[in-house]
Amino acid sequence: MEIAVERVFTNKILEEAARRFNVTVEENPLGDFENYIFHAKDESGVSYVLRLTHSSHRSEKQVEAQLDFLQYLKEHGAKIAGPYYSESRKLVEGIRTVDGTFFYASLFAYAKGERVKGDTSIYWGNEFFEAWGKAIGQLHRLTIDYPKTKYRDTWEVEEKAIIDELDDEKVQNIAYILMEEIKALPMEKKTFGLMHGDIHQGNFHYDGKELTIFDFDDATYNYFIHDLAMVIYYSVLSTAWTEQEKTLFARKQLHVLRKGYELEHQLEESWYESLPLFLRLRDIGLYGTIQKKFKGKEMPVHFQKLADAIYVRIIKQEAIVNI
């Protein structure tokens, strides 16, 4: 979390958020990278997730639009961790901080199943990959008929905001050129729409049959192929495999992903040919996010190693895998 946000987040803020949703929360957060995430329980012991989003990250209207999208998906049968109302019948509760900024609190269902931690998980394999693809395809099929909202950005707004803050001019120039290449791709109803945008292993649980997806904080208008690129990217990102091993795995995984995805929705072959563009864009987005989060702070060693590896690929203008 950025230093400015850490300074205004207090136990009183957390207690007030919990009070408004009538839950109790565990003291230690489940996550604090872009939002504060806490495990919560109601009086009956039912588990939830309480999220606090700072106003420097999202406006109240943006959070509301995200939750409206979740409600739509939930009502149409999507396997997602949907939102719940507060005691005052609000999906979003604004809590003012000492410096006049706000935290926006939201409560979500606690997803059934468990996190699949890469190739160390008993689930890691073709059956899981097919389910992963099917879950993404379902969201894409449903979003086609979702009404347009002005309170969720298109992908280039989000990416440009990250790129503009980079200190490295060489990386910036490469990134801007890449964005222009992607912007030249056609935007059609069956290939472009409001979507999750970040369906990696940390943003869903799996029960052995189905995924339950959560954390739609990055939901933007984007090309559908981007969601499939994210699966490949995060499946190989933290492995110790060689480049050749990563590429071989990614090609096999994509074949199975498509099998599941196409049970719900289909993309023309040309879209899969654009995967390297989106893999490169994810490198740039992740690199910029890491630099921003640790600006003015000491970067942990594992993040520094990750950032260094990404930087090399960016400069070489290479994707994480040759697919």
Residue 102 and residue 126 in one domain: no
Per-residue model confidence as pLDDT tens digits over 207-219: 999 999 999 998 9
* Residue 99: pLDDT band with limits 50, 70, 90: very high
Per-residue model confidence as pLDDT tens digits over 280-302: 999 999 999 999 889 888 999 99
**Is the pLDDT at 303 greater than 90, yes or no?**
yes
**Is the pLDDT at 101 greater than 80, yes or no?**
yes
Residue 321: inside a domain:
no
Residue 91 and residue 42 in one domain: yes
Last residue of a domain, one of 109, 133, 166: 109
The whole-chain average pLDDT of the chain stands at 96
Residue 123 and residue 216 in one domain: yes
Per-residue model confidence as pLDDT tens digits over 235-272: 999 999 999 999 999 999 999 999 999 999 999 999 99
Last residue of a domain, one of 76, 109, 142: 109
Residue 76 and residue 144 in one domain: no
Per-residue model confidence as pLDDT tens digits over 153-200: 999 999 999 999 999 999 999 999 999 999 999 999 999 999 999 999
CATH number for the domain harbouring residue 90: 3.30.200.20
Residue 122 and residue 259 in one domain: yes
**Is the pLDDT at 33 greater than 80, yes or no?**
no
3-state secondary structure the chain: CCHHHHHHCCHHHHHHHHHHCCCEECCCCCECCCCEEEEEECCCCCEEEEEEEECCCCCHHHHHHHHHHHHHHHHCCCCECCEECCCCCCCCEEEECCCCCEEEEEEEECCCCECCCHHHCCCCCHHHHHHHHHHHHHHHHHHCCCCCCCCCCEHHHHHHHHHHCCCCHHHHHHHHHHHHHHHCCCCCCCCEEEECCCCCHHHEEECCCCEEECCCCCCEEEECHHHHHHHHHHHHCCCCCCHHHHHHHHHHHHHHHHHHHCCCCCCCHHHHHCHHHHHHHHHHHHHHHHHHHCCCCCCCHHHHHHHHHHHHHHHHCCCCCCC
Residue 102 and residue 140 in one domain: no
Residue 323: inside a domain:
no
Half-sphere exposure of 76 toward its Cβ, with a 13 Å CA cutoff? 15
Residue 140: inside a domain:
yes
Residue 147 and residue 103 in one domain: no
Residue 80 and residue 13 in one domain: yes
Give me the number of domains the chain comprises.
2
Residue 36 and residue 137 in one domain: no
* Residue 2: pLDDT band with limits 50, 70, 90: confident
Residue 76: inside a domain:
yes
Whether residue 191 contacts residue 271, with contact meaning beta carbons closer than 8 Å, is answered with: yes
Query: Tokens in use for 167?
Result: 């200190």
Residue 123: inside a domain:
yes
Residue 167: inside a domain:
yes
**Is the pLDDT at 38 greater than 90, yes or no?**
yes
Query: Looking at residue 295, what is its pLDDT?
Result: 87
Residue 224 and residue 158 in one domain: yes
Query: Looking at residue 37, what is its pLDDT?
Result: 96
CATH number for the domain harbouring residue 199: 3.90.1200.10
**Is the pLDDT at 72 greater than 80, yes or no?**
yes
**Domain housing 71:** 3-109
Residue 322: inside a domain:
no
Residue 244: inside a domain:
yes
Last residue of a domain, one of 89, 109, 129: 109
Q: Percent of the chain scored above 90 by pLDDT?
A: 93
Residue 43 and residue 150 in one domain: no
* Residue 123: pLDDT band with limits 50, 70, 90: very high
Residue 74 and residue 212 in one domain: no
